[in-house]
Amino acid sequence: MQSKILELLRSAGDGYISGEEIATQLGVSRTAVWKHIQELKAAGYDIVSHSRSGYSLREAPDLLLPQEIRNLLRTRLIGREIVHFEDIASTNNEAKRLAIQGAADGTIVVSEAQGAGKGRLSRGWFSPKGKGIWFSVILRPCFLPQDAPKCTLMAAVAIVRAVRKFDIQVGIKWPNDILYEGRKLVGILTEMSAEMERINYVVIGTGINVNLLPEDFPPEVKDIATSLAMIKGEKLPRVKLFAEIITAMEDLYLAAQKEGFAPVLDEWRRYTVTLGQDVNVIGINETFTGRAVDIDADGALLVETAEGCRRVLAGDVSIRPHKKE
Amino acid sequence: MQSKILELLRSAGDGYISGEEIATQLGVSRTAVWKHIQELKAAGYDIVSHSRSGYSLREAPDLLLPQEIRNLLRTRLIGREIVHFEDIASTNNEAKRLAIQGAADGTIVVSEAQGAGKGRLSRGWFSPKGKGIWFSVILRPCFLPQDAPKCTLMAAVAIVRAVRKFDIQVGIKWPNDILYEGRKLVGILTEMSAEMERINYVVIGTGINVNLLPEDFPPEVKDIATSLAMIKGEKLPRVKLFAEIITAMEDLYLAAQKEGFAPVLDEWRRYTVTLGQDVNVIGINETFTGRAVDIDADGALLVETAEGCRRVLAGDVSIRPHKKE
């Protein structure tokens, strides 16, 4: 009902719509309309009431509310369900909990803040209130568990696509860190539950530093992290960016299920900053250096070393601070 | 305490041990000993009491009790924790629940019966009370998610090793069905939770038809299933077989973590009935036929077809009823 009232308010643009007209169009009493308007105001919507003209929407709150996001979405799978929190420990953990309970393919969990945001390899992810897009998406793809790592590359491609619509030229460091001038802007943590030949669910957790300012970062990441607002010099509209990300993700996901991941990998290659660089690879059991030459069909990084070409499926890959030849 | 009393009773062999001696050795009162003996009797232990000689253990119950299994185990990882149920819906689901709560590498969940035993691809597994070994083991290996399917082959090899100790020559149908003369004896369902580059846990669920008789099977599997007792013509000791399986699993698991899976795959090749046969492959999107020639380093089945060699990672593979050339 609130979504429908918002829709009517928006259709009036800068003008007014009377409580009576809303009541008639939605088939409810004027008192019911009044109650819903009060609730929207309480949720942060700036709605002015005029005794004769009725109601007018001046501004939506800067929150990632499902009705706000859906207002911009035309997807049919990802974001069909959006679960929004003011604050939660970890959107990935909540998404896994919902997935076990049977949540549908494409369900999104988003929170204004995370108390214990999770990064790769048990690292944390700093997620202050209202400053970023901290979300997880539940996917139930029909491909094999072996293909799941490519979902992570896909998520990175989707985010770069969306961010570039705001004229910000970011790059991907293998496998899925998104960087700007060497500073981290986005982190992705993908988890899955699978049988040997079937994925139960994949949860892709993403943290995007949108409107953080230098003073928002804790000291330990201040020098290695950045935000879109710091790059752009102004705040970005989170809802709009989020809708672009969801749209890109759905387009890539549906295409990958139909035609495979080759187009995703090709787009990844266009966005990456890793290929062509000398890299240090810190693996599970060893460390080595070489030149990153390509990714293969599995999304593994191919590194040319003195002893031949090595295939890297996991580990930390850092770009060595050499000049390009 | 009950385990310690059983140990003392067993050390007396067919003879007696007095309540006083048990009390002294364990540092408890005679009344406490008497209470524990009553509990053991209630659990199914056949213990005779003699007013002058004391207690004597005649027979342990035919139950997969942790103290009975551990009595035969010398493993240091698998079976260190054994959780036993009279009846549970699914040992795999219980094992996953315990794994999420942090259960240790090697923890075993075993039940006398399963109300809703799970098979591969959402099929069920018939698990009547006391007739089989229905169990799941939680592993936390340090290898990549891509290597997890090989855990399934490893489990099949462990079971064949153990069963062969009872002079029963069973074979493995790719990937992990265990058959005797074409009839199914053992099913394995492996599930995992992982990040892209790290396994959180693997749960290997195994159902072994030990002492089922023809009349125990439901009509729909009567013609395609068998049991060890039906093959052997007599009941098998479940506890002893279970201890052999756990031991074989630990040996293979520790070796694989140290040296990789090549020895597991070699042993699998020795036990398989699939290689060298003409097979029908029913995959996710297609069906084809060919000759199964080998498995590769990932455990995938290599099938030679008219159009060349195909690599099968998932699906149903049935052996075509042709004579070997």
Are the C-beta atoms of B279 and B289 separated by less than 8 Å? yes
% of residues, chain A, pLDDT over 70:
98
Mean pLDDT for the stretch of residues A29-41: 92
Nearest chain A residue to B145, by CA: A146
pLDDT reported for residue B323: 53
Taking only the tens place, the pLDDT of each residue in B283-305 is 767 889 999 999 999 899 999 99
Assign residue B221 a region (left: φ > 0; alpha: ψ between -120 and 50; beta: otherwise).
alpha
The Cα-based distances of A242 to A72, A158, B43 in angstroms read: 9, 11, 60
A66: cis peptide before it, omega within 30°?
A: no
* Chain B: closest CA distance from residue A138 (Å): 14
Is residue B325 over pLDDT 60? no
pLDDT at A121: 62
Q: Are B241 and B163 in contact (CB under 8 A)?
A: yes
A116 vs A255, more confident: A255
Percent of chain B with pLDDT over 70: 98
Looking at the predicted structure, is the pLDDT value of residue B137 above 90?
yes
State the DSSP code for B306: T
Q: Is residue B282 over pLDDT 70?
A: yes
To which H or E segment does residue A188 belong? strand A183-195
Contacts of B243 (CB under 8 A, 6+ apart): B69, B72, B73
Residue B52's pLDDT band (boundaries 50, 70, 90)? confident
SS3 content of chain B, % helix, strand, coil (to 5): 35, 30, 35
| CA–CA separation, A13 and B67 (whole Å) | 75
Are B117 and B144 in contact by the 8 Å Cβ rule? The answer is no
* Helices and strands (DSSP H and E) totals, chain A: 10, 16
pLDDT grade, residue A46 (50/70/90)? very high
Which band of pLDDT confidence, cut at 50, 70 and 90, is reported for residue A322? low
Q: Which residues, numbered 103 to 162 in chain B, qualify as contacts with chain A under a Cβ-Cβ cut-off of 8 Å?
A: 120-121, 142, 144-146, 148-149, 152
- Neighbouring CB atoms inside 10 A of A27's CB total 7
Confidence of residue A143 (pLDDT cuts 50, 70, 90): confident
CA A281 to chain centroid, in Å, comes to 27
Q: Is A28 on the interface with B (CB under 8 A)?
A: no
Q: Which residues contact A6 (CB under 8 A, 6 or more apart)?
A: A40, A45, A57, A60, A67, A71
Residue B315 near residue B281 (C-beta atoms within 8 A): yes
CA distance B178 to A77: 40
Helix (H) or strand (E) holding A111: strand A108-111
A 184-223 near B (Cβ less than 8 A): 189-198, 200
DSSP A9-32: HHHTTTS-B-HHHHHHHHT--HHH
Within 13 Å and on the Cβ side, how many CA atoms surround A286?
4
CA–CA separation, B23 vs B27, rounded Å? 6
Q: What percent of chain B has pLDDT over 90?
A: 69
Residue located via tokens 């890539």: A252
Which pLDDT score is estimated for A324? Answer: 46
The chain-wide mean pLDDT, for chain A, equals 91
Pairing between strand A114-118 and A124-127? Answer: antiparallel
- The model's confidence at residue B322, banded by pLDDT at 50, 70 and 90, is low
pLDDT surpassing 90 at residue B84: yes
pTM above 0.90, yes or no: no
Q: Looking at the predicted structure, is the pLDDT value of residue A16 above 90?
A: yes
What is the per-residue pLDDT across A266-311, written as a single tens digit (0 to 9) for each?
999 999 999 999 999 987 678 899 999 999 998 999 999 998 999 9
How large is the average pLDDT for residues A212-238?
A: 92
The region, left, alpha or beta by phi > 0 then psi within -120 to 50, assigned to residue A201 is beta
CB contact under 8 A, A197 and B315: yes
| Most confidently modeled range among A226-235, A314-323, B139-148 | A226-235
- Residue B132 pLDDT greater than 60, yes or no: yes
Question: pLDDT (tens digit, 9 = 90+) per residue, A151-203?
Answer: 999 999 999 999 999 999 999 999 989 999 999 999 999 999 998 888 999 99
CA separation, residue B280 to residues A96, B224, B291, B292 (Å) = 36, 18, 9, 9
CB B105 within 8 A of CB B77: yes
Question: Band of the pLDDT at B324, cuts 50, 70, 90?
Answer: very low
- Which DSSP state fits A298? T
Report pLDDT digits (tens) over B190-223: 999 998 888 999 999 999 999 999 999 988 888 8
- % of chain A surpassing 90 pLDDT: 69
Q: Report the pLDDT value the prediction gives residue A122, as an integer from 0 to 100.
A: 66
- Residue listed under structure tokens 């698991």: B253
CB B45 within 8 A of CB B63: no
Residue to substitute from A197, A199, A201, A259, interface B, most B β-carbons within 10 A: A197
Q: Please check the confidence at residue A325 and state whether its pLDDT lies above 50.
A: no
Furthest-apart CA pair in chain A: how many Å?
81
Q: Which domains does chain A have, with CATH numbers?
A: 2-59 (1.10.10.10), 66-271 (3.30.930.10), 278-319 (2.30.30.100)
- Compare CB distances from B313 to A144, A149, A194 and report the shortest one's residue: A144
Give the pLDDT mean for B243-259.
95
Q: Would the CB atoms of A190 and B196 count as touching at under 8 Å?
A: yes
CA nearest to B280, candidates B173, B171, B124: B173
Collapsing DSSP states into helix, strand and coil, what is residue B192? Answer: strand
Q: Do the Cβ atoms of B39 and B33 come closer than 8 Å? A: no
- Check CB contact of B175 with chain A, cutoff 8 Å: yes
Chain A partners within 8 Å of B198 (Cβ)? 121, 314
Report whether pLDDT(A76) > 70.
yes
How many residues are present in chain A?
325
CA distance B236 to chain A (A): 31
Q: State the average pLDDT over residues A235-264.
A: 95
Which tokens sit at B119?
């098979």
Contacts of A193 (CB under 8 A, 6+ apart): A96, A99, A100, A199, A200, A201, B191, B192, B193
- Predicted confidence at residue B121, as pLDDT, reads 62
Identify which has the larger pLDDT, A125 or A103: A103
Mean pLDDT, rounded, for A77-103? 94
Residue A45: φ, ψ to 5°: -75, 135
Q: How many angstroms separate the Cα of B222 from the Cα of each of A207, B113, B126, B184, B214?
A: 53, 19, 11, 10, 7
How many whole angstroms separate alpha carbon A160 and alpha carbon A180? 11
Burial of A101 (0-12, 13-18, 19+ CB in 10 A): exposed
